[in-house]
Structure 1
Amino acid sequence: MDAPFPSRYRRFSRPGPAPQSACDLPAYTRRNTLAQAVVRREPVEHTFPLFDGRGNPWATLTLRSSAKSTKSVPTFHEKEHINGSFELTAEKGDSIQSVTVTITGRVVTGSTIDDSYTFFSHSLPLWSKAESRSSGAAAKLLGTTSWPFSIPMPKTVGLKEGSRADVQYRLPETFLERHIRGSISYEISVLVSRGKLRSDCEIKTRFAYIPGIRPDPPSLLRQLAYREHAELPGPEVDPLGWFGSTTAVVRGSVFKTRQAAIHCMLSLANPLSYTRGTVIPVRLMLESTDGQALDIMSAPSAPVITLRRHVRYQNLATSTKRAADWVDAVEDVCRAVLWPSASGVDAAYSRCLEGEIKLPKDLASTSSIGLFTVSYTIVLSSFEAAGFIPATSHHILAEPVTIATTHARDSPRPLEYAPPSYAPLPLARRNDFYAAQAIVAGPHSR
């Protein structure tokens, strides 16, 4: 017996009660949890002291950042300066030669010094004995001295690749996860250099960097739908607002009795760049001359559409000049929620599903820095449908997309359209670095 076609879910953009019927799901109100104005936080102050043998702080690095709290890792966004100060108490006879602050960005693939690659480094002298002597100032530090600093982070860095001239890369976002050996790490350190008879001292800490990746605005019709809390226009009404993939054919057997073929076309909201914390609108059109197979495959829970993350980096410890040892870490981080389309036209041999992929707020952004890349693809990988056995396990459709960190300029925030009963299926592991406490390293005694 043919499987019944799932009940259609009708949505209404006008205020007031929605009509009910036996085959309708309950009406719901569209959620606009992302439309609030962004409020810029006051800078958070982080302090990192070094203590002498008596437990008294004699040097303190202070940073002011956009982090959520003092317990969070210092966080800086693109176009922000690394603002802070360094305070030092010098005793009589302390042979300090110079004080220098340095910012470093590295790709790390292991635990040894050979397992890291520095893609960015910038040093700023805070004090020098030689320069003080030449300028006529005091040549020795005595008592407590504080040096404020403000260091701009560049938007891009140039890296030499083989015989090619410097290739420009956008500074990547901090990336650190327990189950992936490769990472992107930023660090700020202050080095207190002394004479030959006394050891140098260094205070350092990691910080998080977030690039300003901004998507282009959506189509005018989609913007209008967001502003008016109306239904999203489909590809047939708003062709500029959707990107349609090529048609793929899924072949398999129905209840082990006969062969069937389903034609699939996946449409994604255009442009193919989406801000984390928002949603990716998707549509799936299915066509087949086998009505029973079509009903089975068009159940909202049957298609498996996921956002797939691909982290690729070079293992510096095992790579040679002749061959690069690349490591690939691939995982599905979140899955689409689908429901029967209210605007798509269902014919005898076609079904239309619409839905969305909810992106976690802490999803790592798309990035590339030569030896380390984070990329994303939306994949229609399979169908989880009882009674249908696909002929192959390979993914069906795939489209590369960009995960951005900020919202489109002069455009309303995307709305969530999933009915309340259709819970999202998050699969993402969070970027562990943002939950970690910053680490202070270096000698803790004078």
Structure 2
Amino acid sequence: MDASSPPRYRRFSRPGPAPQSADLPAYTRRNTLAQPIARREPVEHLYPLSDSKGRPWASLSLMSSAKSAKSVPTFHEKEHINGSFQLAAEKGDSIQSVTVIVTGRIITGASVDDTYVFLNQPLSLWSKADSRSSGSATKLLGTCVWPFSIPLPKAVSLQDSGSDALFRLPESFCERHTRASVIYEVSVLVSRGKLRADSQIKTRFGYIPSTRPDSPSLLRQLAYRENSLLPGPDVDPAGWKASSTVVVRGTVFKTRPAAVHCMLSLANPLSYTRGTVIPCRMTLESTDGHALDIFSCPSAPMVTLRRCVRFQNPSTSTKREVDWIETYEDVSRAVFWPTVDGSDAAYSRSLEGEIKLPKELTSTSSIGRFTVSYTVVVSSFDAPGFTPSSSQPILAEPVTITTTHARDSPRPLAYAPPAYAPLPVPRQHNDFYAPPATARQGR
């Protein structure tokens, strides 16, 4: 029989109890990944504006839920940007207007054409023209303070394929090795007459949308509530999404061909909150017992969460068509361990695992020229003595990463035994970075 083409067979074909491939020590499942987050007390961020002699004459104050006053201001969905602007106007100062502006931009390069504004919310704090029409004083003198509160929209309407479409505001995104960025800014513009230069204070802020996964299956919710074993696909078919079965081919010890059937199951629905885990199961089948033992080693499967940042760069594209640029990075690798529910058989092995999601992971988003998406990828098997016949990914399953937890559902648990530490992640990236935004400050 050719070992490279194993025949079709029924899983669990051997009569009698299934053998245990490993005896794992008892351990307590942990509920430390996703504790409720208490909203922080607002902190004040102060941005002064000085004249040519270094004397402060104006300042922008913002209140946000950031970690500290030295951190970048942070605002969540449904929050208002609350703050105030203060200036000391001198006699003869030709101030025409004071305006606060909230902007959101996608930056894909250094050219002007590489900046796409998807959010622009101006708010007039004071205007000489409005004062004249209302009969108020038309000149500012002394210390003036204007508080403001600007609501952030949940979504914006943009042109997409020739028609208007609603897009949810994306999360802030700025990384050194990715050329595309999503930047939010608050600026205050002090406009003067034609013979005087305008003044401006500008600062970036972080925006976090409120996205939720759908609720897990009832059996998985029960397991989380009771701190019990997570039911597998055979017990809870509605709680898992199984991939198609693929054949992994290669050679063992460079002497003979080998083939193993592989199937990956991910916890359903395929949306997960960052800071938690993606539960996964892998089933391996083969009539080649030696190859099956090699592949079923917990450290062998190369299963990663792969992020794709996709964006358009008009300045480097042809006139007829705007090219899409894609950058990929593996952000987390799955940890596997032998199942303890007796699901192994003579020609079958099962591994249980999970992919830990970093708390700072950028959530899935798509707006205009910019998209962040995720895929769980089975790349290969890192098994001693095995040489794969192809370097292409074996399986790929798109998933969604959210920022908050499912409504009315228990928080997910981590099931990895303490001895199974996270494995190193093979990172992939392009060495590009977005240039910092500039701000004009002066008087």
User: Deviation per CA, 1:97-137, whole angstroms, max 9, x where unpaired?
Assistant: 10011111111012232221111111111100111111111
Equivalent residue, structure 1, for 2:70 = 71
> Match for 1:342 among 340, 343, 346?
340
State how far apart, in whole Å, the 2-side matches of 1:199 and 1:57 are.
Answer: 17
2:33 is aligned with 1:55: no
User: Deviation per CA, 1:131-184, whole angstroms, max 9, x where unpaired?
Assistant: 11111111111111111111111111111134x211211111111110111111
Answer yes or no: is the 8 Å Cα contact 1:203–1:440 preserved in 2: no
The offset of 1:35, in angstroms, is: 4.9
Equivalent residue, structure 1, for 2:12 = none
Secondary structure, aligned partner of 2:264: strand
Answer yes or no: is the 8 Å Cα contact 1:360–1:428 preserved in 2: no
The offset of 1:426, in angstroms, is: 5.6
The offset of 1:440, in angstroms, is: 8.0
TM-score normalised by length of structure 2: 0.91
State how far apart, in whole Å, the 1-side matches of 2:367 and 2:341 are.
Answer: 43
Aligned-pair Cα RMSD in Å: 1.8
Equivalent residue, structure 1, for 2:365 = 367
Distance 1:410 1:420, change over 3 A: same
State how far apart, in whole Å, the 2-side matches of 1:23 and 1:400 are.
Answer: 32
State how far apart, in whole Å, the 1-side matches of 2:127 and 2:393 are.
Answer: 61
State how far apart, in whole Å, the 1-side matches of 2:35 and 2:328 are.
Answer: 34
Return 108-117 or 354-363, whichever deviates more.
108-117
Secondary structure, aligned partner of 2:417: coil
The one-letter amino acid of 1:249's match is V
State how far apart, in whole Å, the 2-side matches of 1:353 and 1:188 are.
Answer: 50
Equivalent residue, structure 2, for 1:140 = 139
Equivalent residue, structure 1, for 2:27 = 28
Equivalent residue, structure 2, for 1:379 = 377
TM-score normalised by length of structure 1: 0.90
Equivalent residue, structure 1, for 2:90 = 91
The offset of 1:194, in angstroms, is: 0.5
Equivalent residue, structure 2, for 1:432 = none
The one-letter amino acid of 2:225's match is R
User: Deviation per CA, 1:263-282, whole angstroms, max 9, x where unpaired?
Assistant: 11100011100111100000
The one-letter amino acid of 1:74's match is P
The offset of 1:256, in angstroms, is: 2.6
Structure-to-structure mapping, 1:279-298, within 5 angstroms? 279-298=277-296
> Match for 1:226 among 224, 227, 237?
224
Answer yes or no: is the 8 Å Cα contact 2:305–2:332 preserved in 1: yes
Answer yes or no: is the 8 Å Cα contact 1:97–1:128 preserved in 2: yes
The offset of 1:26, in angstroms, is: 3.1
Distance 1:415 1:271, change over 3 A: same
The offset of 1:27, in angstroms, is: 2.4
Equivalent residue, structure 1, for 2:304 = 306
2:117 is aligned with 1:118: yes
State how far apart, in whole Å, the 1-side matches of 2:159 and 2:240 are.
Answer: 38
2:8 is aligned with 1:37: no
Secondary structure, aligned partner of 1:342: coil
The offset of 1:344, in angstroms, is: 4.8
> Match for 1:260 among 255, 258, 270?
258
Distance 1:296 1:395, change over 3 A: same
Answer yes or no: is the 8 Å Cα contact 1:312–1:373 preserved in 2: yes
State how far apart, in whole Å, the 2-side matches of 1:364 and 1:78 are.
Answer: 15
Structure 2 unaligned residues grouped into runs of 5+: 1-19, 428-435
The one-letter amino acid of 1:115's match is D
The offset of 1:260, in angstroms, is: 2.1
State how far apart, in whole Å, the 1-side matches of 2:53 and 2:359 are.
Answer: 44
Secondary structure, aligned partner of 2:413: coil
Distance 1:426 1:139, change over 3 A: farther
Secondary structure, aligned partner of 2:316: coil
The offset of 1:198, in angstroms, is: 0.7
User: Deviation per CA, 1:307-360, whole angstroms, max 9, x where unpaired?
Assistant: 011111111221243021222111211100000011251110000000100011
The offset of 1:291, in angstroms, is: 0.7
Secondary structure, aligned partner of 2:314: coil
Structure 1 unaligned residues grouped into runs of 5+: 1-20, 430-437
2:183 is aligned with 1:157: no
The one-letter amino acid of 2:273's match is T
State how far apart, in whole Å, the 1-side matches of 2:245 and 2:22 are.
Answer: 31
The offset of 1:439, in angstroms, is: 7.9
